[in-house]
Structure 1
């Protein structure tokens, strides 16, 4: 049995004690690790043969922070006790103890790991070490003294930026900022360098510094107040619906104005307050949801499969448009070779140019060198035919052409002839049933969906769509491909729209329905974006996706789910398509798109141009479709009318088993549609802030308000079942067996 979380101690002949944080693989600060660290430090301070102490981590990492599993395993009160106690311990035995302490950092020193290092009297790291405080991503604030010590090491302005953005810095940057004192040239030299610094501190050759007492890097208090005020205003503007970043600023301010010890007390109080807020529970849900997507029943849950893992070195991308070039870019960045197939030289050249442009943008941001860009481009081969010499080398194919069933069917018929039998054949379709695409194949079970979101090299989600025939080993290896190209893969079932697009098809339709009922469309966008927290509203999203694409996708849902969709033949999208106003790509849509001084596209409301479109749509809807004219609609009404139909469709997806776990739906909604992470994902939000009974009741009210469109709002059986039983939607799969009568 592997040893539990702990720390180990050794003392060398020179009198340097080395304490090793031991909780593989990332040495998370489990309460047992913190307890062992305290006991060993107290022992070192009392031993005559110990001159100084070096703290390091086992394996390749220093420490990735507090053990997040404790948020789920312990009560909030217990977690608060652990954090508060650790803050005091670090100050007493690590920073102010009898013997000087040095942190020897390799790998990651994040969150609590960074705070442990900051509490030491000096820090040494490797060039590639990664140091930072990402706690705000979990809805809390640094609780082990990070709000006080980081600004004292790097200055208030830089400290605020690092903490509020959850940015981490690497070795050289950390040294230039003052976060670390020395850099070891190689990992092998790390411990020796740290020990040398420790002996210098013990002998007085190097001045011992207690970080909490430092003020030399802090700005004068009048300037500090100004900096803190600006940070507070920017935070309110950037994240108007969350409180924990403001609590963090409050804690930092208390320390800057009243001293480090007062700051620690303020930090503990702010941490406890943040831990009580809904955002903390929501963001922890997202943390665990992200890590749970790769565990798929019968595939990657420990099940042993007969087919060994495939080599995934070369991918063929069919189609070099925006989506295909993005997929190729992500694959090249992951170290793979890419075969890009197009139908003619013009399209092929355009695809290659897009890939180079994608990579060049990374160079401009300092995330890629010109040399590496050229090395990546050397691994790209453009082709115009299905030459066996090219496709026999391919391990996985991703088809990314336009959504035309016949074209896709022919492509997979051709691919089946030229690719190896073990090659994964996947389609990037966003809505089409994958078994329909496979109808002309000799082995239709080979096909699997690999649905990327645009832009594919940026968006983090990959929907893996499997049918009832898809072999488990194909799903397993496509999961590996997703991880290899740094995507979060979510396995879903096969249906029109799969999980994300199917669940969110009511999102835009509800907005169109409300606009037809007389609600100002730009107000809808404003409420959904500013009040609720989506990146952009539904009308702005339609412009971004493209009105022509929206019309095509909406048509698929009208055909598949006619009983619960809203369609207006004289609606806004239909009129915009007639005008060839497809959104951003044509500079006209629901908004007008102008180029600003910095050549950035700006969305502008052009009421004179778009007003007649809304008027004609509303007139037809109210005259021929029975849509009422709504007056006095509140912001809350708008949010509920937009999102409750989305929750309703998510319930159907859960009932049908299209997603295996509710948390998969949560992470998919956040990573694809930009559902606010601080709301925990779609299902979590529905449970935490609304509840099944309230959602069902409101949908029934909406159905009565729109009698001729009632099918759009009528709550599904899964939702009614949860409301009737009083169980959360996230637990409804365990109880959903048969329909219940309408409430």
Structure 2
């Protein structure tokens, strides 16, 4: 498609092309809806116009509704999307949609209201509204099953899946799918519709055909009951049932009512916040406009362990050539074998085509000498988490890497600024903190050193996009954003168990609240022996942190975690769920007695408060210190990297929804009760800015907009 249209419409021998033009995605904001309504009315009233083609200017047809307007009156003002759809579908002149780039949400609904659709094969289409906690609100649940059938419509709508036009070419959704630009074919089809040589279809007039539709919908309801906390999937099924059982106009009205009802729920607010926050995280507030990323066509990973091979595969998945560097042939052979096995397993499971698996395997090569890295654009260190080892690696990299190469460390805790001093080019150094398994986990913390050059930072963010990662910028501190906040969270988990809770109760309470995995299940999976080493190192630097000794006690009992079949839980072969351990309970009770603590009953609400508010308070400190750019970046880190429930919007958003005044009051209540050593350590002292913000009823955004001091 052309990058722009010189006019809002253009005529082609009786066919008027109307272009949506609000780059980059031509979303259906109120302003766009008004322009489109005016252009449609003008075309319908013009006797020289026999047919209409709707297209998108720039790189997309339409990305859907303007989510930023969902909390404003603009979402209620006319012309609403439904009004536009009716104007098109019931109008006297044929309208054809020419789709390219994306046609998502309201964009696909707009296309389905047209009388025909021509799509470029790679166009991404779908109705992902359920991912925002809502249902499609402009007829998507009523029109899609009429075009593609109930079963496919249910799969696309209830799960919010996206597909390419090529994948849906035979579904009935499109009249034509082409590898070329769709506009010429759409104009020709519009002309044929106007002449009557091709029959005109009004989607709303079509029936929904499926035998045993009631039984199918009952089965589909059973499948989504596993997530009863999510309102959107059940509401989507209600709408699809209306498409089968009710007249079209009734279905439209009931769909719109559900859309607005769900839009006002805290769950949808949290999901929309998460969606918008991920996009905002890509913006670096103090970066001058026009900074271009450096060219990255070749990469290297130093260290072929679990993290190094995962990073290598993440790069290969994006089509980048990777050199894996190891110290000896045996270690290198193991690393390359891991890469090969992972891709071959994915092929066997049907996740990758054989050709694609072979292509990715071929992108990863091995080396035993730093000399092989002389011409590499991006070099990522992924060796043992020890500063002396990091120093050796970066001194070697500094000696061999070409000028302008980006030097990155995958450290999760160590000082990136100190690592940069091991080179003569600190401006080229930054942190790229991948999360394990690196080729699967979506989060990438981009750690900006004090001397990191702007174009190096831009290169890292561009790399994140290329790897399909959610990249978030952090300044340098111990643990950056995620792991620093995780420390007080884990401290509270240990204290809860010392005071009276059991590991299974703590995990159950926070998982019911929405976390993907509780702290003790997470510890078992990571390894208690590894956790003990990290705690010991941390306590050397921070001796006042009231870490529980129970983790070390279990390690001394030869309970290192899931890998050995015993940690906080017993892990029975062939049984997925961990089993509470009587031996662990005895050890916990004996430890509490040694501390002089009278164990008490702790409710689930207190467990959740103590875990979540520990995150919130540390997040407030990160904002004060400038480690995180904005509160929403913290939310993105915990959703993408730590299993925080997306529908709650992240810890900082959840706190703001609760009310920062109530958060501070709850923290002060927790600090006034409980063991004396907790109070001495001042675990529950609210961050200074958090206290002032609560007193003045300010939100997180006020930290960057105007200091509450």
Shift of 1:627: 4.2
Give 1:151-550 correspondences, 5 Å limit.
151-184=145-178, 186-188=179-181, 190-215=182-207, 217-220=208-211, 223-238=212-227, 240-299=228-287, 301-302=288-289, 309-364=293-348, 368-387=352-371, 390-438=372-420, 440-442=422-424, 446-530=428-512, 532-550=513-531
TM-score, normalised by the number of residues in structure 2: 0.93
1:16 is matched with 15
Taking the aligned partners of 1:433 and 1:622, their CA distance within structure 2 comes to: 39
Question: How big is the shift at 1:446?
Answer: 4.7
Q: Shift of the alpha carbon at 1:104? A: 1.8
**In the TM superposition, what is the alpha-carbon distance from 1:164 to its structure 2 partner?**
1.6
Aligned to 2:646: 677
Q: Secondary structure at the match of 1:131?
A: strand
Rounded to whole Å, the distance in 2 between the matches of 1:342 and 1:168 is 40
1:118 aligns with 2:112: yes
Name the SS for the 1:356 alignment partner.
helix
**CA deviation after TM superposition for structure 1 residue 55, in Å:** 1.8
Q: 1:617 to 1:635 in 2, by over 3 A?
A: closer
- Identify the range of structure 1 (586-595 vs 334-343) with the bigger mean alpha-carbon deviation: 586-595
Deviation string for 1:633-654 (max 9, x for gaps)?
3322221011111111111111
Q: Are the aligned partners of 1:124 and 1:194 in contact in 2 as well (CA < 8 Å)?
A: yes
Separation (CA, whole Å) in 2 of partners of 1:296 and 1:123: 39
Determine whether 1:604 maps to 2:587. no
Which of 426-435 and 259-268 deviates more? 426-435
Provide the C-alpha distance between the structure 1 equivalents of 2:16 and 2:704, rounded to a whole number of angstroms. Answer: 54
Match of 2:74 in 1: 78
Q: Which runs of 5+ in 1 are unaligned?
A: 739-743
Q: Is the 8 A contact 1:386 1:414 kept in 2?
A: yes
Matched with 1:50 is 49
Residues 639, 10 of structure 1: alpha-carbon distance in 2 compared, 3 angstrom cutoff: same
Does the 8 Å contact 1:394/1:419 carry over to 2? yes
Q: Secondary structure at the match of 1:137?
A: helix
Q: Judging changes above 3 Å, is the alpha-carbon distance between structure 1 residues 99 and 646 closer, same or farther for their aligned structure 2 residues? A: same
Aligned to 1:660: 629
Distance 1:595 1:157, change over 3 A: farther
Deviation at 1:106, TM superposition (A): 1.6
* Cα distance, 1:341 vs structure 2: 0.7
User: Is the contact made by 1:4 and 1:23 (CA closer than 8 Å) also made in structure 2?
Assistant: no
- 1:658-713 CA deviation, whole Å, 9 max, x = no partner? 11211111111111112112111111111112x22222222222222122122233
Change (3 A) 1:82 1:332: farther
Classify the secondary structure of the residue corresponding to 1:718. Answer: helix
Which of these residues, 67, 85, 103, is aligned with residue 90 of structure 1? 85
Task: Judge conservation of contact 2:4–2:57 (CA < 8 Å) in 1.
Answer: no
Which of 701, 708, 715 is matched with 2:669 structurally?
701
In structure 1, C-alpha distance between the alignment counterparts of 2:23 and 2:425, rounded to whole Å: 44
Equivalence for 1:553 = 534
| Distance in 2 of aligned mates of 1:57 and 1:256 | 32
Answer yes or no: is 1:725 the counterpart of 2:709.
Answer: no
Counterpart Cα distance in 1 of 2:489 and 2:18? 54
User: Which sits farther off after the overlay, 696-705 or 323-332?
Assistant: 696-705
CA 1:82–1:575: 2 relative to 1, 3 Å: farther
| Distance in 2 separating the partners of 1:700 and 1:60 | 52
Alignment match, 1:575: 553
Q: How far apart, CA to CA, are the structure 2 residues paired with 1:230 and 1:81?
A: 38
In structure 1, the partner of 2:660 is 692
Distance in 1, matches of 2:684 and 2:93, equals 68
For 1:716 and 1:30, locate their aligned partners in 2 and report how far apart those are by CA, in whole Å. Answer: 39
| Whole-angstrom CA distance in 2 between matches of 1:412 and 1:232 | 55
- Measured after TM superposition, the shift of residue 10 of structure 1 is 2.8
SS in 2 for 1:169: strand
Question: Which whole-Å CA distance do the structure 2 matches of 1:369 and 1:715 have between them?
Answer: 53
Once the two structures are TM-superposed, the CA of residue 337 in structure 1 deviates from its matched residue by: 1.6
Q: Structure 2 vs 1, CA of residues 603 and 566 (structure 1 numbering), >3 Å: closer, same or farther?
A: farther
Q: Distance in 2 between matches of 1:7 and 1:635?
A: 61
Match of 1:62 in 2: 61
Q: 1:228 to 1:556 in 2, by over 3 A?
A: farther
Contact map agreement 1:505 1:557 (CA 8 A) in 2: no
Aligned equivalents of 1:372, 1:663: Cα separation in 2 = 36
In structure 1, distance between residues paired with 2:365 and 2:385: 25
